[in-house]
Chains A and B, each alone.
Chain A
Amino acid sequence: MEKIIEFCSKTVVLAVNDIDTDQIIPARYLTVTTKDGLGDGLFADWRFDESGNKLEEFPLNNDKSLGCSILVAGSNFGCGSSREHAPWALVDYGFKAILSTSFADIFKNNALKNGLLPLSVSTDFHRMLNENEGIEVTISLETMIIESSNGMTESFDLEPFSRYCLMNGVDQLGFIMKHEDQINAFENKG
């Protein structure tokens, strides 16, 4: 996995609460056995009409969103199904962070294992992001601060172990495997 320390991008805003993982990637895209190409199905039913034409009004179809790697979304982002295809699709499409006021537990867990940052911000900062679509922000895992180009800053919390793994580009399984003796002991205690 790539190390993540700091990055900067313009934002694209999806001002909807409770975006569930069925919207992020509809079930019909789940009949795959790899992670490749899932970005094609990202928000498929919001991005395209019946015949597969882009729906102009959908924010991701706006030219201004090209190259944006930070998505601003409403509260309780990623609720519903546990499908990890949701973060895979977001990453495959090019997103590196989602900024919201809150996230569903399983989505947050899944995202962090795929180098996608699910960051909760205050309602004030969230409002500013919503009112300034496209504003450039810099996210630093080092300082745990988000800085927007209008000078506003916001600090965020991140589970320390996930942060360590992201900053060092290491997989979480390694930590469990290092404790094999304890796992054996647990099993033997019956």
Chain B
Amino acid sequence: MNNSGKTLFEKVWDDHLVLQETKDTPAILYIDLHLIHEVTTPQAFQSLRDQGLSVRDPSKVLATMDHSTPTLPVKSLKDLDIVAEKGPADQIRDMIRNCDEFGIELHGFDSDKRGIVHVIGPELGATQPGKTIVCGDSHTSTHGAFGALAFGIGTTEVGHVLASQCLLQRKPRTLAVNMTGTLRSGVSAKDIILRIIQEIGVDGGVGHVIEYRGPTASMLSLEERMTICNMSIEAGARAGMFAPDDKTFNYLIDKPMSPKGLGWDKAIDKWSELVSDDNCKFDKEVTIDVDHLSPMVTYGTNPGMAIQIDDIVPESNSDLGHKKSLNYMQIESGRPLLGKEIDVVFIGSCTNSRISDLEDAAEILKGQKVANGIRVLVVPGSQAVKKEAESLGLDKIFESAGAEWRESGCSMCLGMNGDTVGNGQLAVSTSNRNFEGRQGKGARTILASPKTAAASAIAGSVEDPRKYS
């Protein structure tokens, strides 16, 4: 058989080579879109300043503030010192100054386009099939849902891309994750990706770009694909991708930065070629059947430590980490997680803060009350999501259930902006990392879908959303 076909990843990679890699030197890869935010850029701008360099193409930079940005309203910069601590406030001012000095348009407090980088890229149509996209943030993998090659980079590399629009890279290997089966009611894309990570492990994707494919892939919406690609990094992968299809094109057709008129037709022709050839070869392949999948929840301190909600927490194996992790989580093996009392529910983050996620949660919370003593924070992924949610009345559903409704941002996903889970508290969170202290010092995190999070908010304990659907 002829194995000379190319994978989707290889097509995008080859199309962006400024210089081929050799044994001695990495490839120079051209970057089409660079997303930047306030936390991983200050030192990069400083290094440009120190070297007397400018930003090569400010039009290819999309800048916003999300990570340490308050989710309480900030009407003017004067408000900042009231709602934010000194560190984050200084960082935000630094971002404003840097963008101003280097001629980059910033979607700051006064912009209705502000939001989590990985939510606004697709929403604005800046994220497109076949593009190379980077950001000083590991969840850049989200954008792969559109058939882009998108991955996280460090701050030194942020400086490289600002100065040259290019990045030094060694070609990653490819991993095909074939998904089969149809999701049952009450089960979400979040459950699929937690299942995949449980299967291949938190280092199962190291050195690889994952392509999610198979019959299930075409059934998933772009929002669902984003949730799955988002957590590719949680399996250690460089990036995750879905081949673009009609759903992708329909998503993008009316977005502000999408090509228009003749340009659109040309784009569609080009984008339609972005599928892995039948005779291509992946370095590794796995198959995951989602037919009988139940909602997933994590019990430990990495996203691979997950179970289906109707299972019990596995017994400690010989791995030191397992015991340490359960100790930290104060969770016992051999018992179910279902019914375990919780303190906080967080619905938000670049994994699950788009309108469909909020609708999922609202559907369950409608006409219900959050259990006594449980703090529920709902944080939309962008100001646009916030506006849409409000026009659909979702904010009212959340607030009358007893949840807090905020401005957009990363918020409790990493607890940099003052929104934290208290020391020792247990949270059900729709974010992507259950690392020790990720959501605040001493915070304990159970990762789950928006549906599971909403059901747990009502129950005051880990709850199966299928009870409400």
**Residues of chain A whose beta carbon lies under 8 Å from any beta carbon of chain B:** 15-18, 20, 22-23, 26-28, 30-35, 45, 50, 74-76, 79-84, 87, 102, 104-106, 109-110, 113-114, 159-161, 164, 172-173, 175-177, 179-180, 182-183, 186-187
Contacts and interface: CB of A to CB of B under 8 A. Distances in A.
Contacts, number: 167
B206 interface: yes
Interface stretch (B83-91, B186-194, B281-289, B378-386): B83-91
Contact of A33 (B18, B42, B320): B42
Interface string B252-271: 00000000000000000000
Contact of A45 (B68, B153, B154, B441): B441
B435 interface: yes
Nearest to A23: B436
A80 B203 contact: no
B65 interface: no
B185 to A, nearest CB: 33
Interface residues of B, number: 63
B302 A173 contact: no
B28 interface: yes
Contacts of B181: none
B308 to A, nearest CB: 22
B122 interface: no
Contacts of B154: 82-84, 87, 106, 109-110, 113
Interface in B134-168: 136-138, 152-157, 159-160, 163-168
Given A22-B437, A27-B416, A176-B167, 12 more contacts: A20-B433, A26-B441, A32-B91, A74-B321, A81-B137, A106-B138, A106-B153, A109-B157, A160-B25, A182-B18, A183-B28, A183-B166
B43 interface: yes
Interface of B: 18-19, 23-26, 28, 30, 39-40, 42-43, 46, 67-68, 85, 87-88, 90-91, 94, 136-138, 152-157, 159-160, 163-168, 170, 172, 202-203, 206-207, 233, 236, 238, 302, 319-321, 324, 414-416, 423, 433, 435-438, 441-442
Contacts of A75: 203
Nearest to B87: A31
A104 B206 contact: yes
A18 B18 contact: no
B203 to A, nearest CB: 4
Given A102-B203, A172-B168, A22 B46 contact: no
B68 A22 contact: no
Which of B68, B153, B206, B433 counts the most A-chain CB atoms under 10 A from its CB? Answer: B206
Contacts of B202: 18, 76, 79
9 contacts: A20-B302, A50-B423, A79-B236, A80-B435, A81-B414, A82-B138, A161-B24, A183-B28, A187-B165
B447 to A, nearest CB: 13
A28 B440 CA distance: 8
Given A176-B164, A177-B164, A183-B30, A28 B24 contact: no
Nearest to B47: A173
Contacts of A159: 26, 170
B43 A173 contact: no
B138 A161 contact: no
A22 B438 contact: yes
Contacts of B90: 31, 33
A128 B469 CA distance: 55
A17 B321 contact: yes
Contacts of B39: 30-31, 83
A74 B67 CA distance: 29
Contact of B164 (A32, A113, A183): A183
